[in-house]
């Protein structure tokens, strides 16, 4: 029974990793990568390594996903500000 669960979890991790590579939406890809890490922490728990499972869940899944999402939001904000300042300078130069 536990070997079947491990195989299913491994296949889910593989599907999540492939999905993270091919998803066009960046936020969805980040979340898919976080799910892969969360599944890895469940596998570590099932094989009897609760300390590694907790570390993977805290660092690999939670913190890394939050940092990626924060960085993505900062990149979008910077691009938006850059586009706004370029359009403002174009309007000023045209008058």
pLDDT along the chain (95 residues), means of 10: 88 94 92 92 92 91 92 89 71 57
Per the structure, the complete domain to which residue 19 belongs is given by 2-94
Angle CA(8)–CA(11)–CA(16) in degrees, nearest 5?
Answer: 125
Full-model pTM: 0.77
pLDDT tens string 24-35: 998 999 999 999
Q: How many structural domains are present in the chain?
A: 1
């Amino acid at each position: 029974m536990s070997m079947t669960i491990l195989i299913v979890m491994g296949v889910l991790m593989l599907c999540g990793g492939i999905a993270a590579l091919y998803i066009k939406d960046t936020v969805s890809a980040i979340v898919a990568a976080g799910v892969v890490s969360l599944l890895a922490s469940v596998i570590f728990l099932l094989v009897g390594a609760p300390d590694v499972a907790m570390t993977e869940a805290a660092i690999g899944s939670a913190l890394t996903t939050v940092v990626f999402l924060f960085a993505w939001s900062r990149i979008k904000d910077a691009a938006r500000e850059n586009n706004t300042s370029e359009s403002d300078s174009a309007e000023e130069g045209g008058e």
